[in-house]
Amino acid sequence: MTSNKKLELSKRDMNFFSEFSASAGQAGSYLSLSLLILLAFIVIGGGIYAVVFFQTAAINSNIAALNAKMQSESYQADLAKYSEINNSMAGLNQQYYAVSSLLAKVANTDKVETVNMDTLYSNIPKDITITSYGYSQGKITLTGTAASYYSPLDMIANFSKAKLFSYVQISNISQVDVSGTGLTAEELKLANKYSFTIEGSLKTKYEVLVSRFVDSTVSQPLTAVGSQTLDVGEQYAESGVNTFTSQGGNIYTLVRVSLNNAIVSDQDFAKIQQSDSITGTVSSSVDLKLFYTLTSTNGGAQ
């Protein structure tokens, strides 16, 4: 019996050591796998670090080379030469604008002949009173009063017969309230009850001038004066006005517009921006000036 018990205890001890050896072997396998995974991470991380290190070194080398080039005498000389050429171009552009503007003004200069004035006043009906007269850009503007609504129309017919104007129109005709003027009943019957404005073009063709400037206290021209001759009643159009790109790559944005030396209203300017164009009908000389501000320098934001 005693020997049997010793045999059983001996078997139990062998089973225990067997289980312990198996557990130890399994733990050793997990540890080996963990070490392999850690080694893989170390290898991958080292590779990434090496790539970043060499790229950074290459970039730093390029930066150092560029800095050295920028500090070199030849580069500084080229930079000074570029600045000199740029200033010279600005001066030449100013001269180009001045010459082209002078030529446009000479081509567009006209005057009212005395014979035209004689024809004008000889064809005014007796019941019309001219209260103001104006001449600008080759166009005559007459403002006055009339006893009859149809008298201004008769005056336009007289002008057409005399061939005084190439184009004439009534821009306004309205009735005048004379009840509070203190006139007697007889005077009210004779009073002119209508006011009108008539515009007439003396020539058959007019110049349309387009200029572009940097908007500043001293307007710097961006281009020479563009000039074209159009017939009276013909449409003029200037498209792509919202931005302007100079030869040097600078980008400018339109901020205001002047038409015959009068700044266009905010409402009309908004329409110009929306359509990116300026259009109109020729009835006199047109002097169109576009003013810009610099918004981007050679592709970079200002």
If you average pLDDT over residues 127-145, what whole number do you get? Answer: 84
Domain membership flag for residue 48: no
Which of 41-45, 156-160, 204-208 has the weakest average pLDDT?
41-45
Q: What is residue 77's predicted lDDT score, i.e. its pLDDT?
A: 75
pLDDT at 72 over 90: no
Which among 201, 224, 255 is the end of a domain?
Answer: 201
Domain membership flag for residue 153: yes
Domain membership flag for residue 89: no
My answer on whether 214 and 292 are in the same domain is yes
Structural domain boundaries, residue 211: 205-301
Confidence grade of residue 133 (pLDDT, cut at 50, 70, 90): confident
Instruction: Summarize pLDDT for 83-104 with one digit per residue, the tens.
Output: 766 666 665 555 555 555 555 5
User: What CATH number does residue 257 fall under?
Assistant: 3.10.20
Which of 118-122, 141-145, 150-154, 230-234 has the weakest average pLDDT?
118-122
How is the chain classified by DSSP, letter by letter? Answer: -HHHHHHHHHHHHHHHHHHHHHHHHHHHHHHHHHHHHHHHHHHHHHHHHHHHHHHHHHHHHHHHHHHHHHHSHHHHHHHHHHHHHHHHHHHHHHHHHHHHHHHHHHHH-----HHHHHHHHHTS-TTEEEEEEEEETTEEEEEEEESSTTHHHHHHHHHHHHT--SEEEEEEEEE---TTS---HHHHHHS--EEEEEEEESSSEEEEEEEEEE-SSSPEESSPPEEEEEETT-EEEEE--SEEE-TTS-EEEEEEEEETTEEPPHHHHHHHHHHTEEEEE-SS-EEEEEEEEEEEETTEE-
More confident position, 19 or 159: 159
Instruction: Summarize pLDDT for 19-59 with one digit per residue, the tens.
Output: 545 555 555 566 666 777 777 777 787 778 777 777 887 78
My answer on whether 236 and 168 are in the same domain is no
Instruction: Summarize pLDDT for 267-289 with one digit per residue, the tens.
Output: 999 999 999 999 998 888 899 99
